[in-house]
């Protein structure tokens, strides 16, 4: 399978715990995006990388959210001190910077904060 891969697919955590999601993009793609989707809404952009550089992070929802892409390959999204409002699906997508924004999504990681 050469698509975008996300792990874990589902995560249930207690309020106040930290969680980390991993995304492996399509291998030749140099851009990687994180979106969040809540029920009944479209994907909401969080942040994106070109290679290892994080080019936009002002849309991260709070300072509890952080993302890395240390070697320009896989990426992690960490949420610290989770709150019930963080319950959502976290979507990763990747693209080639020359492809005019054509992004390909992974299957998503569901987060439930109890």
Partner 1 sequence: AQSVTQPDIHITVSEGASLELRCNYSYGATPYLFWYVQSPGQGLQLLLKYFSGDTLVQGIKGFEAEFKRSQSSFNLRKPSVHWSDAAEYFCAVGTRSGNTPLVFGKGTRLSVIA
Structure tokens at 66: 């952080």
- Of the candidate spans 19-27, 42-50, 65-73, 78-86, the one that interacts with partner 1 by CB under 8 A turns out to be 42-50
Indicate if the alpha-carbon torsion angle 41, 86, 88, 7 is positive or negative: positive
Distances 58 to 45, 46, 54, 63 between C-alpha atoms, Å: 10, 8, 10, 10
88 binds partner 1 (CB under 8 A): no
105 binds partner 1 (CB under 8 A): yes
- Of the candidate spans 22-30, 70-78, 80-88, 89-97, the one that interacts with partner 1 by CB under 8 A turns out to be 89-97
Q: Nearest distance from residue 52's CB to partner 1, in Å?
A: 17
Q: Nearest distance from residue 26's CB to partner 1, in Å?
A: 12
* Binder among 14, 42, 70, 84 for partner 1 (CB under 8 A): 42
Q: Which residues, at least 6 apart from 77, have a Cβ–Cβ distance to it below 8 Å?
A: 20, 21, 23, 34, 46, 65, 66, 67, 90, 92
- Phi, psi dihedrals of residue 86, rounded to the nearest 5°: -80, -10
- Of the candidate spans 13-21, 33-41, 61-69, 75-83, the one that interacts with partner 1 by CB under 8 A turns out to be 33-41
Question: Which residues bind to partner 1, rule: CB under 8 A?
Answer: 4, 6, 33, 40-45, 48, 55-56, 91, 93, 95, 97-108, 110
């Amino acid at each position: 399978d050469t698509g975008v891969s996300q792990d874990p697919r589902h995560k249930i955590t207690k309020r106040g715990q930290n969680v980390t999601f991993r995304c492996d993009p399509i291998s030749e793609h140099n851009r990687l995006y994180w979106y969040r989707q809540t029920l009944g809404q479209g994907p909401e952009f969080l942040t994106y990388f070109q290679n290892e550089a994080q080019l936009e992070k002002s849309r991260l929802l709070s300072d509890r959210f952080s993302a890395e892409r240390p070697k320009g390959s896989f990426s992690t999204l960490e949420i610290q001190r989770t709150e019930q409002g963080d319950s959502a699906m976290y979507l990763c997508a990747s693209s080639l910077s020359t492809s005019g924004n054509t992004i390909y999504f992974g299957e998503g990681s569901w987060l439930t904060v109890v």
